[in-house]
Amino acid sequence: MEFVSIDVTDGVAVLRLDRPKMNAISLQVQADLREAAAELTERDDVRAVVVWGGERVFAAGNDVKEMAEVSYAEMVRIADSASSATTAIARIPKPVIAAVNGYALGGGCELALAADLRFAAEDAVFGQPEVLLGIIPGAGGTQRLARLVGTSTAKDLIFTGRFVKADEALRIGLVDRVVAAEQVLDEAVAYAAQFSGAAALAIRAAKECIDAGVGTDLDTGLAIERQQFAAIFATEDRTHGMSSFVENGPGKATFVGR
């Protein structure tokens, strides 16, 4: 991977974007994100993931210079690249937290939206300004943003292309926690660390139920939940967790991730 690195400590992987100066998301970055997501999905030593762009900027958008000369025919061929990269991050079957310093705009905002939770610096700025370039979000922005903040708010942000500061982002539900800029990564890692000894298959099942369920009707969502609920009874962690509860009370089980 050229512009993405992975550092794992005590079960928490920090997936770092590093493409100076502004972490513009190029086709190569998209490929790196897909490769990183595949690795993080398979690694048994990773129980949670923090996506971070560094102290200065999360990601200021897709690489406009790269896109400016792309024809319609070429975009038809490569349009899936950006969307599949954010979807790959979203489908990591483990908790994923975006730690956002600085700008998360366009494709950068879409990458943050692909996470399960978003921790933002007090000076972080979000936005989907694609209409100001005469285009629309193409890596999940019209879909994930609407599901997160509601259709009216998503339309306001996407139609106007305006920027959203951290306090407003928290108020509308775009982010989940706002902290001092120098604490963003540490807060996200500390949150992720609680899953290092958790029942990994139960968390995976819960994530799959929620993500699949919100895109369908209630009855179908409940059917997905019933299936996953029954399946989890085949795991060792279920046996350990219930035995520990009966013998020692809640919250004392040791899980093995199987």
Residue 200 and residue 176: Cα distance in Å, rounded?
A: 22
How many C-beta atoms surround the C-beta of residue 58 within 10 A?
Answer: 30
Tokens of 148: 């997160």
Contact 95, 73 (CB under 8 A): no
For residue 155, whether the previous peptide bond is cis, meaning omega lies within 30 degrees of 0, is no
Annotation marks residue 2 as catalytic: no
Tokens of 2: 């050229």
Q: Which residues contact 237 (CB under 8 A, 6 or more apart)?
A: 199, 200, 201, 202, 253, 255, 256, 257, 258
> Which of the following is catalytic: 2, 55, 110, 247?
110
- At which residue do the structure tokens 């951290």 appear? 166
Annotation marks residue 225 as catalytic: no
> Which of the following is catalytic: 74, 130, 187, 225?
130
- Picking from 62, 55, 240, 242, the residue whose alpha carbon sits closest to that of residue 141 is 62
- Picking from 41, 67, 81, 73, the residue whose alpha carbon sits closest to that of residue 208 is 41
Residue 47 and residue 40: Cα distance in Å, rounded?
A: 9
Instruction: Enumerate the active-site residues.
Output: 110, 130
